[in-house]
Amino acid sequence: MASGNGSIAQAIIDAALQQNFPAQIVAVVCDQPEARVLVRATTAKIPTFITPLGADRKHWDDEIFATVESLNPDLVVSAGFMRILSPEFVSHFKVINSHPALLPLFPGAHAVADALAAGVSRTGITVHWVDKGVDTGEVIAQQPVEILPNDDVASLHERIKIIERALIVSTIEKIVLSMRKTDA
């Protein structure tokens, strides 16, 4: 699931194309019809589903749930998906998210700016299970990123994204391999 440019999704796509990667991408679900991630998915011959958020949030929640349920995924990856998923969704599916901060610090949509405003010396990336809260799920993996004296939101976020792409891919791999052991 993605909403924007798709650089995180592209890292996952690239990994999934490698022979030794233990997972495959069944689809990309997006809420933004003009998002670049849709081009990335189409180029990789991955089916896409677009469900824009309309005035009726409950209808959107139901549509997203039905779309993902029809795909029958073992794991749902929020890769820059900028919507809060319904409690029913996160209770039904195994969902992970990457977040550009060392949770529980700086939850929410403005984590990079919040870290800079707080004057901390480091922030980072967290991959976590998605629960009914906002960035409150159990942490799966984290990696710190030092904040440099000349960092602004754009430069810091770009350095975080580099780490984020690698961490989400390695975390997916570990989760999928763990799921296989559990199923065996």
Q: Where are the alpha helices (DSSP H) in 44-106?
A: 57-71, 87-92
**pTM of this structure:** 0.95
- Mean pLDDT calculated for residue range 18-34: 96
Residue 181 has what pLDDT? 86
Residue 29 has what pLDDT? 98
* DSSP letter for each residue of 94-150: -EEEEESS-TTSS-STTHHHHHHHHT-SEEEEEEEE--SSSS-SPEEEEEEEEPPTT
SS3 182: helix
pLDDT digits (tens, 9 = 90+) for 97-106: 999 999 999 9
Element (H, E) at 76: strand 76-78
184 — pLDDT class (breaks 50, 70, 90): low
Residue 160 has pLDDT above 90, yes or no: yes
- Mean pLDDT calculated for residue range 27-42: 97
Residue 182 has what pLDDT? 82
The full set of domains in the chain, from first to last, is 7-183 (3.40.50.170)
> What does the alpha-carbon distance between residue 152 and residue 15 come to, in Å, rounded to a whole number?
30
pLDDT digits (tens, 9 = 90+) for 117-148: 999 999 999 999 999 999 999 999 999 999 99
Residue 183 has what pLDDT? 77
- The b/e string for 30-69 (b: 16+ C-beta within 10 A; e otherwise) is bbbeebbbbebbeeeebebbebeeeeeeeebbebbbeebe
Which residue's entry shows tokens 């029913």?
Answer: 88
Residues with active-site annotation? 99
Residue 171 has pLDDT above 70, yes or no: yes
Residue 105 has what pLDDT? 98
